């Protein structure tokens, strides 16, 4: 159960009431992320997110913000993606007014203090270092850079160090003013609340402004790829990180859920095809999974694994063989039903949380989709057929359009390329 309200300024309010809880989540999301950036300001969305916690006139510094929220035992944070930036506070439901006051103050009155900004440059660079020093995280950035190279989706969220070191206060502030406006916001409330009281607080802390349309994405151009692409990051690791995959349809496409089912059958569980073959039977890896990454106008379908460095070529051949098997021979009705049951069960458990349900709805809203609730989504899942999955596998698994990213002790891509072309 949810309610969607479009306000006069274009902002959208999503309400997920749940009276049996004593908690409340208040969040604000803006349709702005790394894909709205240029090469010269890549990383600015994430930088602005950090600066929202650095003090306002009412709460002059980070400590003032954190002490007030820690004092009520709140869970609070923010996140930046390629397509949106979000801020949330989860607390005892009696503190809804404080949560709304806090986010309003941070998002509307942050100081953009030059000294704090310069200090934060070092923090963000250390965050970049942290991700790059963790190969299982860093491989995902390398893979998407390869997959979407030259497009708005190909840029890293945190940006390059050179931009973080040099971007000016004025550039950051101008970007903030350009994108943090009411019509570009989705405001979400989940948990135990009175709608009448909420509307009163909303008018106080987030008053209706002038009407403006939400940001539109610059859609990625059609990719023309006629042979496999490989990107190697040479590091002396015992466990090699590998991502192998393909571009596919937008997350708004009706077939996107079928793509998730295909991923589940291949590598979504400990009884999936890849897990049983590559780990259990062949002992070549610790983990292996299929990952489906969705964006408004494109998606990725990838196999991600941590593999034995001495058996990397054997493992790649085995992974390719499993993908060819499902492409050429298809799936069974039993596999399809098990995948549906697994996805259904996971979704029901995940969306038991009002906050998770709110984010499930907000993602659809930010993609400009007509929002489907849990019941309608599960009904759509049940309609997927064996034939749809088999047709999709033949379409997506095209080795001339394959992309392989590897972090490990390798300098030449020749042998990897030979396997993909075989």
Q: Would you kindly state where each structural domain of the chain is located, as residue ranges? A: 3-205, 229-421
**For the stretch 165-197, what's the b/e string if a residue is b when 16 or more beta carbons lie within 10 angstroms of its beta carbon?**
eebeeeebeebbeebbbbbbbbbbbbbbbeeee
Per-residue pLDDT of 188-222, as tens digits, reads 999 999 999 999 999 999 999 999 999 999 888 78
Per-residue pLDDT of 4-22, as tens digits, reads 999 999 999 999 999 999 9
Helices 333-350 and 374-382: crossing angle, nearest 10°? Answer: 170
Per-residue pLDDT of 244-297, as tens digits, reads 999 999 999 999 999 999 999 999 999 999 999 999 999 999 999 999 999 999
Mean pLDDT in residue range 363-375: 94
For the segment(s) 229-421, the CATH number from 3.30.830.10, 3.90.1150.10, 3.20.10.10, 3.40.50.2300 is 3.30.830.10
Mean pLDDT in residue range 300-327: 97
Mean pLDDT in residue range 176-195: 97
**SS3 for 336?**
helix
Comparing C-alpha atoms, which of 363, 359, 282, 367 is closest to residue 321? 282
| β 185-191/12-17 pair status | parallel
Examine domains 3-205 and 229-421 and report if their fold is the same: yes
Residue 313 clears pLDDT 90, i.e. is over it: yes
Per-residue pLDDT of 78-136, as tens digits, reads 999 999 999 999 999 999 999 999 999 999 999 999 999 999 999 999 999 999 999 99
**SS3 for 1?**
coil
> What is the predicted pLDDT for the residue at 220?
86
* Sign of the Cα pseudo-torsion (65, 68, 71, 77, in order): negative
Report the chain's mean pLDDT, rounded to a whole number: 96
- Which residue matches tokens 């009407």? 211
- Looking at domain 3-205, its CATH class is alpha beta
The pTM of the full predicted model, rounded to 2 decimals, is 0.95
Q: Rounded to an integer, what distance in angstroms lies between the CA atom of residue 166 and that of residue 161?
A: 9
> What is the predicted pLDDT for the residue at 119?
96
């Amino acid at each position: 159960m949810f309610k969607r309200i479009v306000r006069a300024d274009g902002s959208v309010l999503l309400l997920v009431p749940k009276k049996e809880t004593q908690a409340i989540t208040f969040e604000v999301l803006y349709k702005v992320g790394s894909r709205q950036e240029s090469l010269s300001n890549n990383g600015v969305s994430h930088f602005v997110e950090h600066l929202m916690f650095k003090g306002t006139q009412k709460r002059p510094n980070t400590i003032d913000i954190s002490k007030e929220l820690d004092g009520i035992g709140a869970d609070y944070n923010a996140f930046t993606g390629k397509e949106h930036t979000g801020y949330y506070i989860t607390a005892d439901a009696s503190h809804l007014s404080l949560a709304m006051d806090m986010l309003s103050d941070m998002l509307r009155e942050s100081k953009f203090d030059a000294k704090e900004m310069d200090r934060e440059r070092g923090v963000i660079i250390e965050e970049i270092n942290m991700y790059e020093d963790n190969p299982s995280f860093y491989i995902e950035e390398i893979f998407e850079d390869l997959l979407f190279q030259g497009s708005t989706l190909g840029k890293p969220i945190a940006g390059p160090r050179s931009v973080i070191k040099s971007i000016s206060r004025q550039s950051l502030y101008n970007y903030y003013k350009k994108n943090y406006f009411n019509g570009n916001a989705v405001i979400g409330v989940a948990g135990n609340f009175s709608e009448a009281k909420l509307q009163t607080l909303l008018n106080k802390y987030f008053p209706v402004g002038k009407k403006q349309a939400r940001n539109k994405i610059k859609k990625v151009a059609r990719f023309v790829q006629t042979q496999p692409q490989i990107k190697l990051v040479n590091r002396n690791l015992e466990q090699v990180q590998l991502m192998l995959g393909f571009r596919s349809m937008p997350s708004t496409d009706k077939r996107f859920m079928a793509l998730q089912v295909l991923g589940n059958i291949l590598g979504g569980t400990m009884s999936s095809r890849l897990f049983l073959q590559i780990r259990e039977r062949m002992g070549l890896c610790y983990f292996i999974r299929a990952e489906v990454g969705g964006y408004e106008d494109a998606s990725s379908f990838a196999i991600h694994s941590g593999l034995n460095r001495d058996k990397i070529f054997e493992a790649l051949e085995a992974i390719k063989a499993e993908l060819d098997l499902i492409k050429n021979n298809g799936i069974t009705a039993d596999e399809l039903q098990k995948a549906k049951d697994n996805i259904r069960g996971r979704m029901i458990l995940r969306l038991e949380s009002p906050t998770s349900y709110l984010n499930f709805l907000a993602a659809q809203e930010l993609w400009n989709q007509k929002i489907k609730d849990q019941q309608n989504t599960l009904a759509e899942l049940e309609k997927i057929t064996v034939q749809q999955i088999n047709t999709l596998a033949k379409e997506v698994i095209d080795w001339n359009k394959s992309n392989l990213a590897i972090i490990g002790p390798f300098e030449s891509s020749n042998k990897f390329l030979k396997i993909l072309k075989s």
